[in-house]
Structures are given as structure tokens and as C-alpha cells.
């Protein structure tokens, strides 16, 4: 993916900053994204590595992150892993290292294909030993990659997350999950270091995709045609609350099934992906259905990105800045109209 397109995707997903290593032709490429509350410094980057240190703004504790895309070419592996061993020595700050390492450690981390030789090179094991990194384990499917090799179905655990002792002391509950593979032959690797606290009450939002529904239009018209007693402002508040409550109930009834359907399909996909070979056609069909349902929800996520008129590939930061300022001006309340029709300045 070209640089300007990956920047567009990053902004669409709400990440303020990023660092990219461009692909070579149609393969490779690395990208690191972070939110505005982090301070990040890139130590080293190449077609295989993004090595960085980061900390929360205002805090003194630095952590190290190393994203890895290991070489898949057999002729390069010896030189590549020798460089990894020599360059990445133990560190005294919390360190997390992971990605597509293109190596597995144990025999049971491969299924199908050429038989695993007992005297094969132990590149990954040697790297972990020299850098004092430990595998954080995982939950989910055993294998993170699968594909056809010379007509035979092969599955391997090529992706993993490693951490040093300092990281595990700081975040002892770190959990790695192998997610459901969609539009890729690799599973996404998800690291959860902090348990989320209880969520507050969900805020009401008028969803952009509602306007395409005739039922929504009729519901809103009926709410505002109802007559309420009291002052003008009181009647307006009651109509507004009534409209909000009825829209919320209608949304739960109308669209709840779509979200549940996606979750059901993802559960089926996760189960089928534990044995890709005989289930390949069914996996492809369920993946297609998930794609269709997610396209229907595109406006839902676009609305929450708070970036309007975003198009993939548009890297015009001045445009987005101007749009933000325009939205602020449009949403700013400077005057209120009283019941007698006079305009009153909004209190400071």
C-alpha cells in the first residue's frame, strides 16, 4: 500500500501519529501508529524492523517496542538472524517485541508440508536466549498462518509476541490473542496489557445510516408533531427526549440483528479456521458474508472517526484542519432565543 493511502487509513481509524516503512514492490512494508497521548522516538527502521521507545506524555517511564517482519527467504535467514542476535542485546527497560517473525520454535507449531528436521537451525530460540525475551503465549487458534505449498495444506505459528522480565513485572496480566483471519492468510495478533474498567452509560448519537430508513423519518416527524404543555423550552426538551428515546428503542429493534449476525459468523469462522484445509470453501463464503455486513456498517464507524469527507489517499492536512475549525464554529452556541422571541447572548 502506498504511503499516502496508509496515511489515509491511519487517520480514518483515529490515530494521530504514525511511522511507515514503504513496501518494496507489492510485498513487505511496516507501519507503526500511536495516539496523541504517547511520546515516541524511532531508534531504527528497515524493511524488517521498526524499533522504537515510547512513554505516556508527562511520565518518566520509557518502554521499548520492536515490530518485526522476518525474512521468509531461506537463503537470507542465517545472515538475518545473526544480525538480530548481535544487534538486540538485553535492555533494562520494559521491552515488547513481536510480529511476523517467519519462524516457529517447536515441532507442534507446524502442521502439514515437509517434515520438520530435528537438526534444523534454531534461529528464534537463539535470538530469545541472547536478548532475554520470553514468549507471552496466546489464546485462540494454534496456527497464525496457513497456505498451500506444492499442493499440500500447511499451517504454522509464525507470529508471536515476546517480552522481557521488566515488561512482565510492569504488566503482569498481559494477554496475547490470535484473532480471526479476514482477508489475509495471517491471524491478527492482539496484545491486551491493561484490563478495561467498567464502562459508563452509552451516549446517544444520531447515526448517519438512519437517514436512509423511511421508518426513521416517520418516527421523528411523529415525535415533533406531538403537543406538550408548558413553556416553549420545556416543550422542546420533552419532544427532544421523546425523540431520542424512541429512536434508541427503534435502533435496538431494527439493527441489533445485524451486529449479532456478524458475531455469529465470526464465531463460525473462528471454529472453521482451526482446520483450514477441508473447510476452505466454507471459510471463503463466510468471509464474504462478513465483508458485506461490515460494508453496511461503514457509515457507523466513519461517523465515529470524527473526520468528514475523508477519502483514501487524501493527505491534505490543511483541509482536515479547516474542516475541524469549521465544525467548531458551526457547533458553537453564541445566542439563545427566548420564549418571547428576543435573542439573548449565551452566558460566558
Could you report the per-residue pLDDT of 92-127, keeping only the tens digit for each? 999 999 999 999 999 999 999 988 988 899 999 999
Distances (CA, A) of 135 to 132, 138, 142: 10, 9, 14
Q: What is the pLDDT of residue 314?
A: 45
Q: What domains appear along the chain, each with residue ranges and CATH number?
A: 3-192 (3.60.10.10), 208-337 (no CATH)
Q: Is the CA virtual torsion 81, 85, 88, 90 positive or negative?
A: positive
Q: What is the pLDDT of residue 54?
A: 96
CA atoms within 13 A on the CB side of 10: 22
Q: How confident is the model at residue 189 (pLDDT cuts 50, 70, 90)?
A: very high
Quick check: 54 and 36 in contact, CB under 8 A?
no
Cell numbers for 262? 456478524
Distance, CA of 184 to CA of 263 (rounded, Å)? 19
Distances (CA, A) of 179 to 100, 184, 190, 271: 14, 12, 7, 11
pTM here?
0.64
Note the pLDDT tens digit of each residue in 290-334: 887 887 677 666 665 555 444 433 444 444 444 443 454 345 454
Whether pLDDT at 251 is above 90: no
Higher per-residue pLDDT: 48 or 259: 48
Q: Comparing C-alpha atoms, which of 52, 145, 153 is closest to residue 93?
A: 52
Amino acid at each position: 500500500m502506498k504511503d499516502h493511502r496508509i496515511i489515509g487509513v491511519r487517520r480514518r481509524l483515529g490515530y494521530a501519529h504514525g511511522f511507515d516503512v514503504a513496501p518494496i514492490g507489492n510485498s513487505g512494508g511496516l507501519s507503526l501508529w500511536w495516539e496523541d497521548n504517547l511520546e515516541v522516538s524511532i531508534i531504527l527502521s528497515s524493511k524488517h524492523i521498526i524499533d522504537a521507545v515510547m512513554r505516556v506524555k508527562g511520565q518518566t517511564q520509557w518502554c521499548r517496542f520492536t515490530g518485526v517482519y522476518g525474512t521468509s527467504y531461506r537463503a537470507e535467514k542465517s545472515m538475518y538472524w545473526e544480525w538480530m542476535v548481535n544487534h538486540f542485546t538485553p535492555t533494562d527497560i520494559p521491552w515488547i517485541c513481536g510480529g511476523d517473525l517467519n519462524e516457529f520454535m517447536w515441532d507442534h507449531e507446524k502442521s502439514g508440508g515437509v517434515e520438520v528436521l530435528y537438526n534444523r537451525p534454531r534461529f528464534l530460540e537463539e535470538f530469545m536466549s541472547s536478548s532475554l525475551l520470553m514468549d507471552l503465549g496466546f489464546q485462540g487458534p494454534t496456527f497464525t498462518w496457513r497456505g498451500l505449498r506444492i499442493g499440500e495444506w500447511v499451517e504454522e505459528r509464525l507470529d508471536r509476541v515476546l517480552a522481557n522480565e521488566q515488561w512482565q513485572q510492569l504488566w503482569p496480566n498481559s494477554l496475547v490473542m490470535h484473532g480471526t483471519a479476514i482477508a489475509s492468510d495471517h491471524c491478527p495478533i492482539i496484545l491486551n496489557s491493561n484490563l478495561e474498567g467498567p464502562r459508563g452509560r452509552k451516549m446517544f448519537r444520531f447515526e448517519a445510516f438512519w437517514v436512509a430508513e423511511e421508518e426513521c423519518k416517520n418516527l421523528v416527524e411523529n415525535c415533533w408533531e406531538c403537543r406538550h404543555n408548558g413553556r416553549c423550552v420545556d416543550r422542546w426538551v420533552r419532544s427532544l427526549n421523546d425523540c431520542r428515546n424512541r429512536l434508541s428503542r427503534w435502533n435496538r429493534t431494527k439493527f441489533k440483528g445485524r451486529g449479532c449476525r456478524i458475531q455469529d459468523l465470526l464465531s463460525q469462522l473462528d471454529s472453521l479456521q482451526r482446520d483450514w484445509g477441508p473447510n476452505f470453501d466454507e471459510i471463503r463464503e463466510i468471509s464474504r458474508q462478513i465483508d458485506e455486513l461490515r460494508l453496511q456498517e461503514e457509515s457507523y464507524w466513519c461517523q465515529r472517526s470524527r473526520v468528514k469527507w475523508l477519502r483514501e489517499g487524501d493527505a491534505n492536512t490543511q483541509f482536515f484542519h479547516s474542516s475541524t475549525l469549521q465544525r467548531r464554529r458551526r457547533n458553537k452556541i453564541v445566542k439563545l432565543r427566548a420564549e418571547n422571541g428576543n435573542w439573548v447572548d449565551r452566558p460566558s
